[in-house]
């Protein structure tokens, strides 16, 4: 049906990666024409993928039934990370409005949170929903540093932190020792929260890693140290599969880690990768946002959760 896309393919670095794909699987470019794509989220019932095109201030939708991509929402308030909650609703981080929103069943958009302690958030970046309904998100400053991915503006908070929003009790800060917290995901049993720090984007010798934190009662986190250091650019968004492996964005494609932190392989992508998610009816199709283009490849791993 199609040949090998130049600059793409599987790279095995450890035998444990060999069971993660079939040899003839090929990376497809499903759509191109964006500026900085982010936030892929899979909607199982509708068989489509929503993703953000941040500088173009729009969200796109790839329809699996037709293979077509069209505009989903424009303007999008420079949306970045997206996910799906436990009943299938879209949850979105917006740079321009410095908030996290939920799109309701009737299509209206509700604000979940836009401040902490009376001060505006910086620019929520990425988000994940836990099985108990709490919404966890990161709040680095990328959306207020320039006018390119939001509006240039002053930070009101004292740094870039990780938050947990409980629809019943509000927003709490769960980690405050990151430079620029970015992608985040839970282990399959939700005992571990993984959080990327992309501090190296603006600080010489800043962090370029994913950290591991134990999740306790009421969302209390305990630092368990470094999970992995990025060897190509920065880790931005990532997802976890059902076996607990981490599939992370990086400059040269997708880096795949065993739960013990070993880099076991890569899915090479011709452009820098910002994020990815597992989709399709079996959650075994990896959708990858790569700078200007949306890519996909079937793998033999299955995503651990919706969205
Ligand atoms: Mg991000």
Token readout for 201 is 């984007």
For residues 182 and 236, is the Cβ–Cβ distance under 8 A? Answer: yes
What's 54-107 look like in SS3?
CCCCEEEEEECCCCCEEEEECCCCCEEEEEECCCCCEEEEECCCCEEEEECCCC
Q: Is the dihedral of CA 122, 304, 235, 299 positive or negative?
A: negative
60-105: pLDDT as tens digits: 999 999 999 999 999 999 999 999 999 999 999 999 999 999 999 9
Q: Give 226's pLDDT tier (boundaries 50, 70, 90).
A: very high
Give the gyration radius of the chain's Cα atoms: 18
CA distance linking residue 232 with residue 224, whole number of Å: 23
Residues 195-220, mean pLDDT to the nearest whole number = 94
Residues 177-182, mean pLDDT to the nearest whole number = 97
CA distance linking residue 153 with residue 217, whole number of Å: 36
Token readout for 122 is 């910086």
Q: Is the pLDDT of residue 2 over 70?
A: no
Query: Has residue 237 been placed in a domain?
Result: yes
Query: Has residue 244 been placed in a domain?
Result: yes
| Number of domains composing the chain | 1
CA distance linking residue 290 with residue 270, whole number of Å: 8
Which regions of 122-160 does DSSP assign to beta strands (E)? 127-129, 135-139
C-alpha of residue 183 to centroid of ligand 1, in Å: 5
**CATH number, position 22:** 2.120.10.30
19 Cα distance to chain centroid = 24
Q: Higher pLDDT residue, 305 or 114?
A: 114
What pLDDT does 1 receive?
44
C-alpha of residue 3 to centroid of ligand 1, in Å: 31
C-alpha of residue 34 to centroid of ligand 1, in Å: 16
Q: How many CB atoms lie within 10 A of CB 262?
A: 15
Decide: residue 274, CB within 10 A, 0-12 exposed, 13-18 middle, 19+ buried. Answer: buried
Query: Has residue 304 been placed in a domain?
Result: no
Query: Has residue 1 been placed in a domain?
Result: no
125-179: pLDDT as tens digits: 999 999 999 999 999 999 999 999 999 999 999 999 999 999 999 999 999 999 9
Domain of 140, in residue numbers: 9-298
Token readout for 56 is 């173009």
C-alpha of residue 142 to centroid of ligand 1, in Å: 9
CA distance linking residue 255 with residue 232, whole number of Å: 9
C-alpha of residue 192 to centroid of ligand 1, in Å: 19
Helix (H, G, I), strand (E, B) or coil at 251: coil
C-alpha of residue 245 to centroid of ligand 1, in Å: 19
What pLDDT does 68 receive?
98
Q: How many CB atoms lie within 10 A of CB 65?
A: 8
C-alpha of residue 140 to centroid of ligand 1, in Å: 9
pLDDT > 70: percent of the chain: 99
CA distance linking residue 199 with residue 208, whole number of Å: 6
296 Cα distance to chain centroid = 15
What pLDDT does 306 receive?
80
C-alpha of residue 1 to centroid of ligand 1, in Å: 33
Token readout for 143 is 């959306």
Residues 246-260, mean pLDDT to the nearest whole number = 98
Helix (H, G, I), strand (E, B) or coil at 126: coil
**Mean pLDDT score of the chain, rounded to an integer?**
96
259-269: pLDDT as tens digits: 999 999 999 99
Give pTM, 2 decimals: 0.97
Pick the closest to residue 243 from 179, 182, 301 (CA basis). 301
């Amino acid at each position: 049906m199609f040949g090998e896309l130049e600059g793409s393919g599987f790279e095995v670095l450890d035998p444990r990666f060999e069971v993660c794909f079939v040899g003839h699987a090929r990376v497809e470019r499903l759509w191109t024409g964006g500026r900085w794509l982010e936030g892929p989220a899979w909607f199982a019932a509708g068989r489509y993928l929503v993703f953000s095109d941040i500088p173009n201030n729009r969200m796109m939708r790839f329809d699996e039934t037709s293979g077509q991509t069209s505009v989903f929402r424009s303007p999008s308030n420079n949306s970045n990370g997206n996910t799906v909650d436990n009943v299938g609703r879209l949850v979105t981080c917006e740079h321009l409005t410095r908030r996290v929103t939920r799109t309701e069943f009737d299509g209206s958009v509700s604000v979940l949170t836009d401040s902490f302690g009376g001060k505006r958030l910086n620019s929520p970046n990425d988000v994940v929903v836990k099985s108990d309904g709490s919404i966890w998100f990161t709040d680095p400053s990328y959306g207020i540093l320039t006018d390119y991915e939001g509006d240039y503006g002053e930070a009101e908070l004292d740094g870039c932190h990780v938050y947990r929003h409980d629809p019943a009790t509000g927003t709490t800060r769960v980690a405050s020792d990151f430079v620029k917290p970015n992608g985040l995901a839970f282990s399959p049993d939700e005992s571990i929260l993984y959080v990327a720090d992309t501090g190296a984007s603006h600080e010489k010798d800043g962090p370029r890693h994913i950290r591991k934190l134990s999740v306790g009662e009421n969302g209390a986190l305990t630092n368990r140290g470094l999970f992995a250091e990025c060897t190509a650019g920065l880790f931005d968004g990532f997802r976890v599969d059902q076996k607990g492996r981490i599939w992370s964005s990086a400059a040269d494609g997708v880096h795949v880690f065993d739960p013990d932190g070993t880099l076991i392989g890569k899915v090479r992508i011709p452009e820098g990768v910002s994020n990815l998610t597992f989709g399709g009816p079996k959650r075994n199709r990896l959708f990858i946002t790569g700078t200007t283009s949306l890519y996909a490849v079937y793998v033999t791993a299955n995503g651990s959760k919706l969205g």
